[in-house]
Amino acid sequence: MQLKGEQLGAHLERELKPVYTVYGDEPLLVIEAADTIRAAARRQGFDEREVLTVLPNFDWNELHHAAGNMSLFGGRKLIDLRIPTGKPGREGSAALSEYCQRPAHDTLLLVTLPGLDWSEEKAAWLKSLDGAGVLIKLIPPKLAELPAWIAGRLRRQNQQADEESLRFIAERVEGNLLAAHQEILKLGLLHPTGKLSLQQVREAVLNVARYDLDGLREALLVGDVARLARTLDGLKQEGEAATLVLWAMTEEIRALAQVHAGLREKQPLDLLLREARIWGPRQTLFRRALQRLGEPAVKAALAEAARIDRLIKGIGSADLWNEFLRLGLALR
């Protein structure tokens, strides 16, 4: 069965198939679709999860072992099979085809892949995965379709915008879905639910403060206390919203916690960084931060961020900007 990305939610409300295969050129869409399937599986009692990453010299017997090793508590199991290259090879093709002939009982197999070319889409192993369950090819919206995509994302957080505002966001992000995703999250933090005005959208998207949030993120990752203090002071003087400042800092802390958890499970760092949406030059900063900051320190910082969030919501009182600095100092 083949589905479009927008059909996945409705399908999962009706049923769960034993095999799901998700692939596409846009990592953001693949990650989100896989997260949606995992959440639906948890709701249906798939409490155990085993992650298999196909790297060079991967032993495909691990797939059969994972399917055969059921939970000691009799629960249902999700096998999270990741093929970063999109090429399982001869042995992998045979293993996938064999598995799909007799999917394991009380087991859901989730296969994630990057974009595939036309020849790979015709491969026997992909047809086997399709025949055993659901195949989802995620196609990024074209530039002309981007305003509608942004409108759909706004609806998820109970916000709306007129066509001019949607076109304005689309033109600013120039087809970059991750940038669009971040702008949409920003609007959700800055404004309540309901209709957004063009002025609200413009002010949020054109927010290019001299002491910008990206600089704050970088100072946090490298542990540069002096720069962090200067940037926080500049953001305060320029009237930056406290909710956005906390969001920027917390995004980095959550990503650190997510990657640390994956490393504890022996997952490859490159894959974990991609899943945490850490791309390009930020990967170098992130790798250094992981070496400098242990998992206990990151968990403590997450708890501190949650406390500051309560302060912003009016539960307790304190100088928020001093609290932001304290949070940064905890990660130096």
Give the model confidence (pLDDT) of 311-325 as tens digits.
988 888 888 999 999
Q: How confident is the model at residue 282 (pLDDT cuts 50, 70, 90)?
A: confident
Q: What is the pLDDT of residues 134-150, one digit of tens each?
A: 999 999 898 889 999 99
Q: What is the reported pLDDT for 233?
A: 85
Give, in degrees to the nearest 5, the angle at Cα 200 between 196 and 205. Answer: 115
Does 241 lie in the same domain as 201?
Answer: no
Please check whether residues 300 and 321 belong to one and the same domain.
yes
What percent of the chain clears pLDDT 70, i.e. is strictly above it? 97
Q: In this model, does residue 310 exceed pLDDT 70? A: yes
37-69 as b/e: b if 16+ CB within 10 A: bbebbeeeebebebbbbbeeebebebbeebbee
Average pLDDT of the residues in 191-204: 90
Residue of 245, 4, 170 whose CA lies nearest to 184: 170
- Phi first, then psi: what are they for 119, rounded to 5°? -70, -40
Range of the domain at 256: 213-329
Is the pTM higher than 0.85? no
**Distance from CA of residue 253 to its chain's centroid?**
14
Looking at the structure, do residues 129 and 6 belong to the same domain, yes or no? yes
Residue bearing the bigger pLDDT, 108 or 190: 108
Are residues 306 and 217 part of one domain? Answer: yes
What CATH number is associated with residue 154? 1.10.8.60
Same-domain check for residues 7 and 132 = yes
Residues 310 and 200 in one domain: no
**Average pLDDT rounded to a whole number, residues 66-94:** 84
pLDDT digits (tens, 9 = 90+) for 154-181: 999 999 999 999 999 998 887 788 888 8
